[in-house]
Chain A
Amino acid sequence: MIASVLAQFGDSFWMPTDASTYAFRVDRLFYFILAIATFFFALITVLMVLFVVRYRRRDGRIPAPSASHNTALELTWTIIPAILVVLIFVFGLKGYMDMATPPANALDITVTAFKWAWAFTYPNGHVDANLHVPVDRPVRLTLTSQDVIHSLYIPAFRIKKDCVPGRFNRMWFEATKVNDTEGYDLFCAEYCGTSHSAMVAKVYVHDAAGFQRWLEEASRWEGRIAPVQRGAQLYEQRGCRQCHSIDGSRVIGPSFRNAWDEIVEGRRAFADGRRLADLLGEGYTAEDYVRESIYEPGARIVAGYAGVAMPGYRGQVRDNDIPAIIAWLKSLSDRYRSEADLPAAATSPASAPDKGGAR
């Protein structure tokens, strides 16, 4: 146990790695306050122990009379702490104000939080589940939420900001260390329901050329990978797996295992008592239903799932992604798997999604 504690002290006992221009300032203030706090705590403890030992009760000893107040002394221990806390306030404010003012040449990334994943939208329109940024360049995040309040927290950068539905918040940072393989942790810090603790992503810091290369590759999947693989990728990266299983078990929403059968054959029942078969026909195909379920999940609730609110993905999943998702759904179906347009290395339902690939 002790060994594993010591193993973590590569950087420091108190703080994680510092990887932004801002981290150093936060740490400096942290250690300044720590010094003051340690001094006063030691003072209190030493005086207490000293008094307890020195003035402990002894039979027959009557305490010598001592003053019951001393205005000068009391003013001293009012004024000294007052000066110290004002000092701490000023340092804290200065650091914060620098953090609140993004420089003009920043790279803009929009953050949309939802239960229970992140969508980072890059200037070229690409949406990703993880945050990729270039090193040594200011990055400005505009944050919002689709459902409840979330909070974006990157310990290595010492930054945090809430994602509030119905408003845009803003923050910025500048990463100082390239880290494009392991990545830094990115947490949701505001409690948001069942899978709050799984709303975890990564921050990858690339060098300038590496960032451009990543962005170009990530933006185009057509021609590089098969649609069914694209579907599996979206499932992993966009938070679908937080609620939908692929092995038939019920998590929070319906499982995707053999879901396509239920949909295309119209067997799916809804909470309002209707069946999909009653709706399918000219102008409303099984594919339309899948598209609608992704863009407007509240439009039809599957029977047995009333009260479960899924966030809508309009604007985050593009139209050319929908056929890929359908191809992937087919690959999860026992009966329709042959239609799934599987690439040479056929993906079985168990192995199709690269488990944990997103994190």
Chain B
Amino acid sequence: MSAVAPGYAAPAPAENYLTAARGVLSWLLTLDHKRIALLYLAAILASFLLGGVFALLIRTELITPGPTLMADATKNRDFYNQMFTLHGAVMTFMFIIPAIPAIIGNFTLPLMLGARDVAFPRLNLASFYCWVGGGVFFVLVLLTGGLDTGWTFYTPYSTETTTRVIPATLGAFILGFSSILTGVNFIASIHMLRPPGMTWFRMPLLLWALYATSIIQILATPVLAITLLLLIAERALGVGIFDPKLGGDPILYQHFFWFYSHPAVYIMILPAMGVVSEVIATFSRKHIFGYRFIAASSIAIALLGFLVWGHHMFSSGQSGMANAIFSLLTFSVSIPSAIKVFNWLATMYRGSIWLKTPMLYALGFILLFGIGGLTGLFLGALATDIHLHDTYFVFAHFHYVMMGSTLFAFLAAMHYWWPKMFGRMYSEFWAASAAVLVFLGQNFTFFPLFVAGARGMPRRYAEYKPEFAVYHQISSLGSYLMAIGLFLVLAVWIHSLLRGRRAPANPWGANTLEWHCASPPPHDNFATTPAAGDPYDVEAWEYDPQTESFVQRDPAVATAGPAR
């Protein structure tokens, strides 16, 4: 067991990062990674709400096969097309991509490193304001005529449409910089700030996941930036790049776009997997199983993720050879994903499983990711993909992987680190009830759509054949259930902030370094740099029923613990 300076597990000191400075400016101009994480939290949750409202409008429109929300069919179609575009753009660029890295990563990464902050605190704040700047452009799009290209901005439609393509792509361009700056910061922090004792293979798995994510962010995002600039050049200046009328090639756009946007899928899922690795180990009260395989699989996913973009274009007319290669490479990504799932299950084997809210979300993640991942097999195989491409099957698949899995991991992370963030506990009963509601809502909303898709229901249809109505109706009811569940989550959080019991330093008995400092942490995190041991040595902590928290065992006993 590492020597931890006394005092970290002590009751909250009089002053913490939330109370260290007062006034609006102390928040808006803060360089403290923890406060920046909370700024992101507020902004990203607002985006999630906005994207969620769009989603509910979409689901309401689809309750009947014909026009539902507006009597005029043309206006209704235009409205629907705008709603699914804005839903996709807001959720992708402003919620799923930044949620875990920017909120959870910013809060926990320096703490897990035993550091006082990220390597470049000013860059961190700049990254937040890039996000805000990108967000302003999106709001501008909303207020000045909307966008109807789909979040993918496919050419030549995006060159022709009269809606606000340029502000929207500029928004995505600026949001991309936010993502790049966060990635640079995390990579530098992990390289430079690891405490004594923390070798690469003693890093918490969340750090491996964030490291892999950061690699993708800094390598792939610039490609999106260039692509969007080229699109802007085509629209604004008539430079022929993608539009065949100007001598361009529309498929070229798809290659550029997916060269970023496929790896971006792993920007969404890798940090989620990192969170789940932490939560499963902590709540199984056991050392994570197969640490090296999980760590290596994160890096493998990040690298292989760059080589599979062509599977979005199997029906576009690209050569059979290209299709075959992209199909094979796509299957290679499924193997590291499978390794992770089996290792999480093996971690639970012979553990002492504690079904607290974060664990419920993590178990939900495994099931949802299971469905999302396994349905990916149908889409990786060429013959079945041709039938399923651009149907609701694809739609349901990525809503299980992106929405289901990433949202669940985000909620697991929020409930796991909530006591550390705010120094308060939440109502376990209501938080767990909300988790069950969201889980049911997710499955009712998206599972029927696999069937609709396999039966031939195309995506992005404002109106559809009556034979598909039943799937859409179950789905719409499910989406309302999910909305109720998510509002309950919010209510639980607000109640916790106002009335929650004070949180101990280590309510869950985890051994990563953030649990060694007070809840909430002081402004400088650690008085002196702690030495790191095995991050999953949970036996070093013992439950103390009197304080309802975990306290460190006598180091002598801890080292004499079970050998492995």
Contacts and interface: CB of A to CB of B under 8 A. Distances in A.
A124 interface: no
B456 A187 contact: yes
Contacts of B354: 57
A299 interface: no
Given A65-B562, A164-B317, A77 B339 contact: yes
A16 B391 CA distance: 13
A197 B462 contact: yes
Given A95-B383, A151-B315, A189-B458, A68 B470 contact: no
Contacts of B363: 48, 52
Contact of B380 (A15, A89, A195, A309): A89
Contacts of A148: 154, 156-157, 160
Nearest to B473: A1
Contacts of B345: 44, 47-48, 51
A55 interface: yes
Interface string B355-381: 100000001001100110011011011
Contact of A68 (B324, B353, B564): B564
B487 interface: no
B538 to A, nearest CB: 9
Contacts of A14: 451, 454-455
A162 B386 CA distance: 11
Contacts of B461: 196-197
Interface in A36-89: 36-37, 40-41, 44-45, 47-48, 51-52, 55-58, 61-70, 73-74, 77-78, 81-82, 85-86, 88-89
B546 interface: no
A197 to B, nearest CB: 4
Contacts of A309: 160
Given A61-B352, A73-B346, A194-B81, A160 B315 contact: yes
B234 interface: no
Interface stretch (B188-196, B210-218, B288-296): B288-296
Contacts of A15: 454-455
B122 interface: no
A67 B564 contact: yes
Nearest to A23: B387
Contacts of A187: 456, 458
B443 to A, nearest CB: 13
Contacts, number: 274
Contact of B290 (A5, A33, A74, A198): A74
A13 B451 contact: yes
Interface string A91-127: 1111111011000000000000000000000000000
Interface stretch (A24-32, A262-270, A336-344): A24-32
A194 B389 CA distance: 21
B87 to A, nearest CB: 13
B106 to A, nearest CB: 29
Interface size class of A (residues with CB under 8 A): 35 or more
A252 interface: yes
A4 interface: yes
A52 B366 CA distance: 13
B80 to A, nearest CB: 8
Interface stretch (A165-173, A215-223, A230-238, A345-353): A165-173
Contacts of A5: 470
B166 to A, nearest CB: 15
A295 interface: no
Given A55-B353, A65-B564, A196-B460, A36 B154 contact: no
Contacts of A167: 244, 251, 317
A140 interface: no
Contacts of A94: 383
- Give the 6 A-B residue pairs with the shortest CB-CB distance, closest first: A155-B456, A166-B244, A95-B383, A92-B381, A65-B562, A96-B382
Interface of A: 1, 4-5, 8, 13-16, 25-26, 29-30, 33-34, 36-37, 40-41, 44-45, 47-48, 51-52, 55-58, 61-70, 73-74, 77-78, 81-82, 85-86, 88-89, 91-97, 99-100, 147-149, 151, 153, 155-156, 158-162, 164-167, 169, 185, 187-198, 251-252, 307, 309
20 contacts: A8-B455, A13-B451, A14-B451, A14-B454, A15-B455, A40-B370, A52-B363, A55-B351, A69-B292, A70-B290, A73-B346, A94-B383, A147-B160, A151-B315, A153-B458, A155-B387, A164-B244, A164-B250, A165-B250, A198-B463
